[in-house]
Chain A
Amino acid sequence: MKIRKYLLTAIVSTLLFTAVSVSAQAPVSLDLQPDGKNPASPVMGDHLQFWSTITNTGTSPIEGLVAWISLVEIDPGNEQPVDLEDWSAHKAVTGASLGPGQSLRTDWPMRLIKGGDYRVVVSVTDRNGRQVYTSPTVQFHIRQKPVLQAGRVLPVAAGIPLLIVGLMVFNKAKQRHKRVFSTHGQVREG
């Protein structure tokens, strides 16, 4: 009797585990790879490209698919998400639909704006689902290069024209002073 009870418990547990595993399996699989032509040691200003492959591994179609790329800076003490405004004009794919077994391959070009260590990831969700699925991350380092420093340019760009205007005003005042002085001299002589 005791053996039967143990056997039943084992069968129920196995069935329950299988059911949970099947239900937990994501209906979407995501892959993210850097392009083979990307520079091995990218520097600021370079262009990188990443390829994502989104596959519908479920049994029903995915409608209103939205995929987007995210970039995170991971420099020690400076960990933060990056606004892609200047980095990429291609930030999302929207409205696509994927039938069961179908895949969507997308390229994500990126211009490297700032030096440091970064991690890129692509996320996907759809119109009906409540889940967000993410790809594996790709990490890369951007080498710093000497570029313009606004803090040095702005004072010069504003200061030099102002200096010349000051010189013009000074010259004008000096000429007026000289004219007045010579007029006074002529009056005295007269």
Chain B
Amino acid sequence: MMNTIWTIVHKESAQMLRSQRGLLWLLAFSGLLSAFSLLLVSNTELSLLDNAQVVYMMAGTVLAAGALLSAILGSDAYAGEKERGTLVPLLCAPVAPSALLAGKAMGLLAAWGVMFAVATPYLWAVGASGQNLGAALFYLALFGTPVVLGFGYLAMALSARTGSVLASLLSTVTLLMLAASPLIIGPGLRGTAIGRALDAVNPFAGALNTFDSVIIDSDPFSAQTARLLLVIVWLGLCLIAARRSAARPDFQ
């Protein structure tokens, strides 16, 4: 069982570092972070932002990019295998559906880990002279991982259920755009009753609010427990959905 999972993990994670496709994604991701950093340096208005504010903005960008990658890889997990004609042989192989799901999820985690590693120097570059850089990295890992993995599980559930990469990708990315809207709309607009209600159930907003709380306001861990619970519930629900869909994937 473990060997099977490791084989799948190895195959999935190799896509990120060994395939040109994965490296191209990493190049696009680093290009995004480079452009963002250079914009911060070259623009007078932005260059006067506090270090902590910049680290918060960059952590949010890394989280959004991680969730997007997760949605893409998750959508490809079952429907991609089906479209390439490799799903039926995979289902006929002596691999338990849960092992297949675990292997694909760990491959996705490895991809997120690589993205995290690429993002770390950027966070250091913009935040080393300010406050709470260590806390930023810690909370990005602690809150980012369940949020990213949750989107991956959701995409896998839709991918296995619909059997279409396009349908799964469109649905997950649309949901991601809705969830990531707090990145674009300011805290003022989110201060309304509807905004607060959405924040209370949105795991992405939960992670962003935690970044704001720990990086800018230097709040302690105890102030983050409710939000941590929110992202763990999100991960749990997405995992349940993925397990149910992966048990009977659409292969016809």
Query: Could you list which residues of chain A lie within 8 angstroms of chain B, going by C-beta atoms?
Result: 44-45, 86, 111, 113, 145-150, 152-161, 164-165, 167-168, 171-172
How far, in angstroms, from A150 to B54 measured CA to CA in the complex? 13
The B interface is mostly helix, strand or loop, or mixed, namely helix
Pairwise interchain contact A156-B121, C-beta atoms closer than 8 A:
yes
Pairwise interchain contact B118-A172, C-beta atoms closer than 8 A:
no
The A interface is mostly helix, strand or loop, or mixed, namely helix
Residue of B nearest to A164 (CB): B27
User: 8 A-B contacts, Cβ less than 8 Å apart?
Assistant: A113-B48, A156-B34, A156-B37, A157-B34, A161-B31, A161-B34, A168-B24, A171-B23
* Contacts known (A160-B121, A168-B20, A171-B23); A147 close to B38, Cβ less than 8 A: no
Of A111, A152, A153, A159, which contacts B38 at CB under 8 A?
A153
CB-defined interface of B192-226 with A at 8 Å, one 1/0 digit per residue?
00000000000000000000000000000000000
Of B27, B47, B50, which contacts A165 at CB under 8 A?
B27
* Contacts known (A147-B50, A171-B18); A160 close to B44, Cβ less than 8 A: no
Residue of A nearest to B48 (CB): A45
Pairwise interchain contact B44-A86, C-beta atoms closer than 8 A:
yes
Point out the residues of chain B lying under 8 angstroms from A148, CB to CB. Answer: 40-41, 47, 49, 51, 54, 126
User: Count of B residues near A, CB < 8 Å?
Assistant: 32
Of B34, B38, B49, B54, which contacts A160 at CB under 8 A?
B34
Point out the residues of chain A lying under 8 angstroms from B17, CB to CB. Answer: 167
Point out the residues of chain A lying under 8 angstroms from B24, CB to CB. Answer: 168
Point out the residues of chain B lying under 8 angstroms from A150, CB to CB. Answer: 41
Q: Tell whether B128 is near chain A: CB-to-CB under 8 Å.
A: yes
How far, in angstroms, from A148 to B58 measured CA to CA in the complex? 13
Of A44, A145, A156, which contacts B122 at CB under 8 A?
A156
Q: Tell whether B125 is near chain A: CB-to-CB under 8 Å.
A: yes
State the Cβ distance, A154 to closest chain B Cβ, in Å: 7
Pairwise interchain contact A157-B128, C-beta atoms closer than 8 A:
no
Q: Tell whether B181 is near chain A: CB-to-CB under 8 Å.
A: no
Of A113, A152, A154, A165, which contacts B44 at CB under 8 A?
A113
Query: Which residues from 120 to 153 on chain B have a C-beta closer than 8 Å to any C-beta of chain A?
Result: 121-122, 124-126, 128-131
Pairwise interchain contact B121-A167, C-beta atoms closer than 8 A:
no
Pairwise interchain contact A147-B27, C-beta atoms closer than 8 A:
no
* Contacts known (A153-B40, A168-B24); A146 close to B50, Cβ less than 8 A: yes
Pairwise interchain contact A164-B20, C-beta atoms closer than 8 A:
no
Point out the residues of chain A lying under 8 angstroms from B98, CB to CB. Answer: none
How far, in angstroms, from A147 to B23 measured CA to CA in the complex? 32
State the Cβ distance, B84 to closest chain A Cβ, in Å: 20
Pairwise interchain contact A147-B47, C-beta atoms closer than 8 A:
yes
Point out the residues of chain B lying under 8 angstroms from A86, CB to CB. Answer: 44
Point out the residues of chain A lying under 8 angstroms from B18, CB to CB. Answer: 171
Pairwise interchain contact B126-A171, C-beta atoms closer than 8 A:
no
How far, in angstroms, from A111 to B31 measured CA to CA in the complex? 31
* Contacts known (A156-B37, A172-B20); A44 close to B48, Cβ less than 8 A: yes
* Contacts known (A113-B44, A160-B34, A161-B34); A168 close to B122, Cβ less than 8 A: no
Pairwise interchain contact A157-B37, C-beta atoms closer than 8 A:
yes
How far, in angstroms, from A172 to B24 measured CA to CA in the complex? 12
Q: Tell whether B30 is near chain A: CB-to-CB under 8 Å.
A: yes
Q: Which of B31, B125, B130, B131 has the most CB of A within 10 A?
A: B125
Q: Tell whether B166 is near chain A: CB-to-CB under 8 Å.
A: no
Point out the residues of chain B lying under 8 angstroms from A158, CB to CB. Answer: 34
Pairwise interchain contact B128-A164, C-beta atoms closer than 8 A:
no
Point out the residues of chain B lying under 8 angstroms from A152, CB to CB. Answer: 124-126, 128-129
How far, in angstroms, from A45 to B23 measured CA to CA in the complex? 39
Pairwise interchain contact A156-B124, C-beta atoms closer than 8 A:
yes
- Other A-B contacts than A156-B34, A161-B31, A164-B118, 15 sampled, CB-CB below 8 A, are A44-B48, A113-B44, A147-B49, A153-B41, A153-B126, A154-B41, A155-B125, A156-B37, A156-B124, A157-B37, A159-B121, A161-B27, A168-B24, A168-B27, A171-B20
